[in-house]
Amino acid sequence: MEFRKIQFTGRSSYIISLPKKWVKSHALKQGDIVPLAINSDGSITIFPKEPKEVSEKKILEISTEYSPDMAVRLTISAYIQGYDVLEIHFTSEMPQYKVKLRKILQSLPGVEIILDEPQRIVAKSLLAEEEVNLAEILNRIRSLIISMLGDLELLVSSPNRDEILRDINDLENELDRFYFLVIRTVNRLLTKRALSEESGIIKRTFDLLGILFIVRNIERIGDHIIRIAENPDSIDVAYLKEKFSEMVEQIEVRDLRKIDNLMFELKSKSKGIDYRQSIAMESYRRILEYLENIGETIINMALS
């Protein structure tokens, strides 16, 4: 790390010199204009040149050497890495692969298929990145889990069990969509090397990593709600709903005393569960542990 002295020039300007080696390595000269970003944590990032405003393209070559599931994973990976254009080439006509890939592309937030040929699919992200707000996405994810838990409460007593189970699965698919969107958004913010997210929950770069970990744990909670729904047992769903809401609230509030009490209560509760009793009880215990993980991450974010 280098240190530079702030100097005063003229009547109202403060200046700081740039390292000569940095200027030369980027072919800059006196009079050139460089972009500058003021980050939410108070730091300033100076870029050597204006960022290119072009869409990044990723070309995926898909052959039968890959399974259809692997082809889906590659497509999702390209999306979350932030590519704006996904061009998928098939080595031959592969209808089974195309059906799966078309379905996953249509489910990714902001993505539209703009070309669909026998051996090629081109999709483009029409998402306005600057309008994506992580706090709003987290609020939507929170409401999806609350809705899934609400359905879980109805599942035991309702005669329309199959219908409710379908609804829980639909909500979980929606949860996955927002999970992918969070990863993509965080990746784009990190690659910009400047924190332009102004949702109030991102104050430092570490917070971005924390949000990734939190959303991953919430996505796993959704998976275990599905397991409970498919293998119902006597689960205190009202308790899960209450503690989930309380913990997610702390992502923004960050009351360390409240988080400490919540984590102590969750740990005590999970220790008293006989997870060998059933699949549902095992998932119940795992959900409590995921909530503890979220608490630990919020603590780290509060102290970073």
For residues 102 and 95, is the Cβ–Cβ distance under 8 A? no
The whole-number pLDDT of residue 54 equals: 44
The whole-number pLDDT of residue 35 equals: 74
Range of the domain at 77: 57-125
Task: Report phi then psi at 55, rounded to 5.
Answer: -80, 135
Say yes or no: 62 and 150 in one domain.
no
Q: Please indicate, yes or no, if residue 101 is contained in any of the structural domains.
A: yes
Q: pLDDT tens digits, the chain, 304 residues: what are they?
A: 677 788 777 666 777 888 888 788 877 887 777 777 666 556 777 777 655 444 589 999 999 999 999 999 999 999 999 899 999 999 998 999 999 999 999 999 999 999 999 999 999 998 877 778 888 999 999 999 999 999 999 887 777 888 999 999 999 999 999 999 999 988 888 776 555 555 567 777 788 899 999 999 999 999 999 999 998 888 899 999 999 999 999 999 999 999 999 999 999 999 999 888 899 999 999 999 999 999 999 999 998 6
Say yes or no: 209 and 288 in one domain.
yes
Domain C-terminal end among 100, 125, 150? 125
Which residues neighbour 246 within 8 Å (Cβ) at sequence distance 6 or greater? Answer: 258, 262
Domain C-terminal end among 88, 106, 125? 125
Q: Please indicate, yes or no, if residue 51 is contained in any of the structural domains.
A: no
The whole-number pLDDT of residue 23 equals: 80
Say yes or no: 154 and 293 in one domain.
yes
Say yes or no: 287 and 138 in one domain.
yes
CATH number, residue 145:
1.20.58.220
CATH number, residue 70:
3.30.110.20
Q: Please indicate, yes or no, if residue 84 is contained in any of the structural domains.
A: yes
Say yes or no: 204 and 280 in one domain.
yes
Q: Please indicate, yes or no, if residue 52 is contained in any of the structural domains.
A: no
Say yes or no: 185 and 277 in one domain.
yes
Say yes or no: 181 and 289 in one domain.
yes
Domain C-terminal end among 125, 157, 178? 125
Q: Please indicate, yes or no, if residue 114 is contained in any of the structural domains.
A: yes
Say yes or no: 173 and 230 in one domain.
yes
The whole-number pLDDT of residue 32 equals: 78
Say yes or no: 68 and 206 in one domain.
no
Say yes or no: 98 and 199 in one domain.
no
Q: Please indicate, yes or no, if residue 289 is contained in any of the structural domains.
A: yes
The whole-number pLDDT of residue 53 equals: 46
Say yes or no: 230 and 264 in one domain.
yes
For residues 78 and 86, is the Cβ–Cβ distance under 8 A? yes
The whole-number pLDDT of residue 194 equals: 52
303 token code pair: 């102290």
Q: Please indicate, yes or no, if residue 2 is contained in any of the structural domains.
A: no
Task: Report phi then psi at 57, rounded to 5.
Answer: -115, 140
Q: Give, in order, the Cα–Cα distances in Å from 195 to each of 55, 117, 184.
A: 20, 39, 15
Say yes or no: 181 and 275 in one domain.
yes
Give the burial string for 61-85 (b: 16+ CB within 10 Å, else e): ebeeebebeebbebbbebbbebbbe
The total of other beta-carbon atoms located within 10 Å of residue 231's CB is 13
Q: Please indicate, yes or no, if residue 237 is contained in any of the structural domains.
A: yes
Cα 168 from Cα 44, distance rounded (Å): 45
Cα 100 from Cα 143, distance rounded (Å): 28
Q: Which amino acid is at 132?
A: V
The total of structural domains in the chain comes to 3
